[in-house]
Structure 1
Amino acid sequence: MITYVKKLLQSTSKKKIALATGGFLVLSGMTGYASYEWTKETVTLYTNGKEQKVRTHANTVAELLKEQNIKLKEEDFISPSPQTKIVNHLTVKWEASKPIVLIVDGVEKKLRTTAKTVKDVLHIQQIELREHDQVSPNVDEVVKENMKIVISKAFPITLNDGGKQQQVWSTSTTVADFLAKQHITLRELDRVQPTLNEKIQPNTKINIVRVEKVTDVVEEPVNFVVVQKKDAQLEKGKQKVISEGEKGIVAKQYEVILENGKEVSRKLIKTETIKPSKNRIVAVGTKVAQPTLASRGSDEVAQELYVIATAYTAYCGGCSGTTATGVNLRANPNAKVIAVDPRVIPLGTRVYVEGYGYAVAADTGANVKGYKIDVFFPDKSTAYRWGKKRVKIKIIK
């Protein structure tokens, strides 16, 4: 019994000692923990704009980020620098960079950035936009991960549209794309050089020829035909107009091709008679005159000459229709008049011209010099038939 009590007392003492020892260790641990926590620094950490309070034993900003499982990349934003020593109440700002793709004139570049907007990216990359350059997305767009920023730098193009030339700035790759962006429409017959699918480079010259096909109707006069009828009652060599001719009118329809407003071709499509012409009827005398000039008592021949005789009308080029002596040939188409060189045949002289008949020297002409005369006819066809010939002329006293 006594032995049992001793053992019990011994066991109780050991437990008290163990309990006391355990309590001492716990107290020591708590004191150590409190001391450990007490020596930490308080840091305000901003991660991608989110604020948090952090207590740390880190010596530098880099160690702090490592504690927070933040892997710092070269392009990330960190302030202050990673080598900065941690002090109490330090503010650390970290912003993760985003991967983006920057494409300038087809050249691709992959990079990381902390820029907020597309405009900021361009500023950081020292890319200056000119007035006509294009960027997508818009410069105010917020940067997102894996965003593609495409920049097309504008270059000068010389545009000649229908003869009107100007310089235009463009970012287009082909002629067709350029025309679409400039709101230029090609019609069916228009031509463009270079071709629509051809790629354009700085200072390319684009030439547009505006082609039009139009119809042009032109009314033209049609000369009448002179019809001669023999008249046995009329003295040979004389003519008499029985019926005046009238010019007709025809309408000619042309297909006209215009390039830049200027005519380059004309094709006759059809001809339509608006007013038919009316023939001029002329009686030509066949009666032989009696008596002959040589036998006429009152018509004494003073001189006979051989001359070169041509013919003219009152409507010839440069003719006024009035002779040098004042005879109105247009009002007197049946007048028998010749033009002479007054130094050879004086004006007012009565003559007899072989093949023409009696006439008066009442006119002059620029080409009538020396032994040359011009006989008057009322119409071109008769004058043409006369032609140019050598004839005998008799000067009557």
Structure 2
Amino acid sequence: MKSGPYKRRERPSVFTERKREIALVVCTAVLLVTGLAGAAREVKVIVDDQVISVATTALKVGDILRQAGVELHEGDEVTPGVSERVYGSATITVTRAVPVTLAVDGREIKMVTTGPMVKHVLAQAGVLLRPDDKVSPGMEAGLTAGMQIKVIRVTSEVVTKQVRLAYRIEKRSDPSMDRGKTKVLRPGVEGVMEQKVLVTYEDGRPVKEKVLSSKVVRQPVSKLLAVGTRNPVRTLYTSRGAYRYRECYTMLATAYEPGPTSCGRYADGYTAIGMKAEPGVVAVDPRVIPLGTKLYVEGYGPAIAADVGAAIKGNRIDLLFETVEEALRYGKRWVKVYVLEP
């Protein structure tokens, strides 16, 4: 009996076995993804402080946000990114951008940012601060919509200044000038002080000065002023005419006659300055009214200070009458005595 040829079965190679294993893993993964994609799962969407839970089969972040009703605006920040895919119970975070205005270096920059603080805005705008610069509000302040942020550039320099020093005014009484009048005897000269000053500027505007040192380079010279002390000329109108006068005294007036009754046994009919003793002569205290001064005495008339008396001291005046009777009749009274102009 004739038998056919014998065929031996070959075993699969190791390489073929590895290919089968890889194909099995890929098929399993596809089945898993397909299963996950087809099944709805819960995704949390956090918008600022609000949490929205959404059941979805979508994988792309942008699709999930649309399904959650979240509308994105310019500058909003989304984590993970809008075009990325998420699997399982994922969490998507949306940080809303707010509009702010940044004023710096003479410019006004309008921008939207997610911040969350002022310092982040400056970093986003590429603003570099110097050590003394100021920021309002502060760097750590939280952002709010419409916030105005201002950067104030602070600089300083030392400058030399000349400061004027005022002169004093010295007054000297002048009895030869009427009261209220003055005359410059020596003009005043201002002094000069040199100062080293630290000047601080904010945005180029000087806001503070600090004197570091000072020295007087020229002393001031005082102004010398003559001040009139004499009463101005005034006019006295009487029934006997008009009289010009400067001084007026209120005095206690008494009366005397030129004979021995009033002047003693040595009376010779002449006054202390050698004038004939007659009506119109009056006795005064020379320390108050100099002898020889022309006067007008209220209720008596024109007179001349030509005599003295032992009892006539200070603001007292003694009026000469012709007779003892007239002197006694006059008695004693207060009167105004006008010192007349020569």
What TM-score does the superposition give when structure 2 sets the normalisation length? 0.40
| TM-score (structure 1 length as normaliser) | 0.35
Q: Which has the higher contact order (CA 8 A, sep 6+)?
A: 2
